[in-house]
Chain A
Amino acid sequence: AQKVTQAQTEISVVEKEDVTLDCVYETRDTTYYLFWYKQPPSGELVFLIRRNSFDEQNEISGRYSWNFQKSTSSFNFTITASQVVDSAVYFCALSDRGDNQGGKLIFGQGTELSVKP
């Protein structure tokens, strides 16, 4: 069965600290897609990144970076120099299809990040 686990329920940091959000996934598929979404208090899930299982190259986008490791089935997300505006619930998700033809997303429980000034 496919499953996503975000063991950290809540994280609280002070502004400018670095913070890493953990994500561990389970799947029997050899090809799959992983995603990170951000959910601010407004409720809308905002897409952050998609990663294909064939591409293990880590990615940096501004203050955000992602570390994908197939060997440990992890797809962790780091925010460098956190800001108050980063406060939100962050979800890691796995697509149940290994191709690019859509399919459902399987979400973790989410990690609520609170960045204090």
Chain B
Amino acid sequence: DAGVTQSPTHLIKTRGQQVTLRCSPKSGHDTVSWYQQALGQGPQFIFQYYEEEERQRGNFPDRFSGHQFPNYSSELNVNALLLGDSALYLCASSLIQRGENIQYFGAGTRLSVL
């Protein structure tokens, strides 16, 4: 039973570029949440997707957008990258339909913006 998988593992971009990160949820899960974790900090919630719609959003600018596909996988897009966007981006999946609010995390994508 595969857990949450994220790709790529590492990414280096320059300021102003755009990036797309991908996440496949744990088998059977229907909800995907994205978090940003700066070095030495706790993860910060970006947004959550359920039934292909953004269900909840944290305090992040519109440069951060996402999408959920019919197979429940998800993408996180960040436009006009800033140096401050350098962080570990974590994806988590859960199963809302069964009232399971435990979020299971992937290993993350480490984004470096130069």
Contact = CB atoms under 8 A, between A and B. Distances in A.
Interface residues on B, range: 20 to 34
A1 B13 CA distance: 35
Interface string B29-54: 00101010000111111001010000
Contact of B45 (A4, A35, A100, A104): A104
Given A102-B50, A102-B103, A110-B40, 20 more contacts: A42-B107, A43-B108, A45-B90, A45-B92, A45-B105, A47-B105, A50-B102, A95-B101, A100-B99, A101-B96, A101-B99, A102-B55, A102-B101, A105-B45, A105-B92, A106-B45, A107-B42, A107-B43, A109-B40, A109-B42
Interface of B: 31, 33, 35, 40-45, 48, 50, 55-56, 58, 88, 90, 92, 94, 96, 99-108, 110
Interface of A: 4, 33, 35, 37, 42-47, 50, 91, 93, 95, 97, 99-110
